[in-house]
Amino acid sequence: MGKYSVKGSATFDARIDADMERIADAVYASKFSKHWKALVLLGGYGRGEGSPMIGPDGEELPFNDYDLIVVTDSLDPLLKRELKQLEKKLSEAIDLPVDLYPYLDSALPKCEFSLLNYEMRYGHRVIRGDPKILDAMPEYAHDAIPLSEGTRLLMNRGKLLLTIKQRLAQPEPLTREERMRFFKFLFKADLAFGDCALLLRGAYDLSYVVKRQRLPEINLSGLDDSRAFVSAYSRAIDFKERADFQTLENGNVHLRFADTLKRYEQFFLWYEKRRLNRKFQTLEKYAREFLNLGNEGSPLKNAVHNLRTFGPCVLPDCFVHPRLRLYAALPLLLIKHADRDEICWLLRSPTGGFDELCQAFYTLQQRFS
């Protein structure tokens, strides 16, 4: 096992070390650097499970985005704008997306118990600054991650499937770059199914090495052909550990998408029925219960979110978090014969065209993901 990946080489580690040094130098050369407490690498690279992409000549290249947080004592708008400009410059220089998220140090002890914060707390690497900066975050129970976090993950991965569906509806053939990106999205969806099943059974772990071992051992009763989900999860981990697109050159994106979408529809309903202890028979019936899909946020804050987003027309339903509308609408956008009027109502979209509904979903998902 390497420093940043499970199967990457020393050369791969050296490349990422050089990228991290370059990013840190640029961030700490900023005129706002007196505010920085630490620069922290998150995601797969941060926990040592990043994906090396195999190039045409067999070389290993970074594949995932670099997700970093800048722990700071200020969130001044000028400071945030500076980080946005640095993101753009560094992404162009490194030829890989670099995301720099400012995070207020005084907010660390009050971080909510979310899957994102759990993984940030226990799966990160400090690139520069205080090496124990994230110890200020709460201690999260490893077997008590809120199950709504699984629904949130399924929504965010389902958004990737919606992007594929929207593009495949267009007549133009896919470019090689699109094919690569869409295969990556499909693998991410299969990873989400396994992760959420483990979450549901209290068996979640940061490490995919551990999760691959645990998934076949947990109770998946009620999930048709559960072995297919386990196999797809293992294949997705294989790809994550060594992203070799050359083996996918002749793969049919349309067929792979249809297969993954079928699993998504089945798994989403299976998970939500168990999370909520309800007997939804169809995704349409699930969507009609959007007011009862969870207790996320506080009623007062939810009302503020809703009124700012949708205006007074949402008043009868203003005390539920807008994210519940996304949970309800996304499966309907993905299946073939959904009632578009119902999706319009859920998303408060003025028009019912598929592309317009997708855009309405993307806009809300960007705010409330």
- Tens digit of each residue's pLDDT (9 = 90 or more) over 61-87: 888 899 999 999 999 999 999 999 999
For position 297, what pLDDT does the model report?
Answer: 87
Which residue in the block uniquely carries the two structure tokens 């705010």?
A: 367
Amino acid letter, residue 191: L
Measured between alpha carbons, how far is 204 from 211 in angstroms, rounded to an integer? 7
Structure tokens belonging to residue 291: 């007011």
User: 162-215 pLDDT, tens per residue?
Assistant: 999 999 999 999 999 999 999 999 999 999 999 999 999 999 999 999 999 999
* Backbone angles phi and psi of 265, in degrees to 5: -60, -45
Mean pLDDT in residue range 247-253: 90
Closest CA to 15 of 5, 29, 25: 5
- The whole-number pLDDT of residue 311 equals 86
Say what the pLDDT of residue 22 is: 97
Q: In 3D, which of 161, 211, 156, 223 has the Cα closest to residue 186?
A: 161
Position 166 scores a pLDDT of 96
pLDDT of residue 315: 76
Residue 46, pLDDT score = 95
The answer to whether the CB of 361 falls within 8 A of the CB of 326 is yes
* Per-residue pLDDT band at 347 (split at 50, 70, 90): very high
Do residues 100 and 83 touch, judged by C-beta distance below 8 A? Answer: yes
DSSP tag of 294 = -
Instruction: Indicate the range of 34-43, 128-137, 311-320, 350-359 predicted with least confidence.
Output: 311-320
Whether residue 37 contacts residue 105, with contact meaning beta carbons closer than 8 Å, is answered with yes
Structure token pair of residue 40 = 């922290």
Average pLDDT of the chain, as a whole number: 94
Residue tagged 């400009």 (tokens): 85
Task: Report pLDDT digits (tens) over 212-227.
Answer: 999 999 999 999 999 9
Q: What is the pTM of this model?
A: 0.93
Cβ atoms < 10 Å from Cβ of 270: 22
Confidence of residue 250 (pLDDT cuts 50, 70, 90): confident
Residue 56: strand, helix, or coil:
coil
Confidence of residue 21 (pLDDT cuts 50, 70, 90): very high
- Is 316 a residue whose pLDDT tops 90? no
**Res 74: pLDDT:** 95
- Topology (CATH level 3) of domain 10-136: Beta Polymerase; domain 2 (3.30.460)
Burial state string for 101-127 with b = 16 or more CB within 10 A and e = fewer than 16: ebbebeebeebeeebebbbbbebbbbb
CA distances from 118 to 35, 111, 113, 135 (A): 25, 9, 7, 12
All structural domains of the chain with their residue ranges: 10-136, 148-368
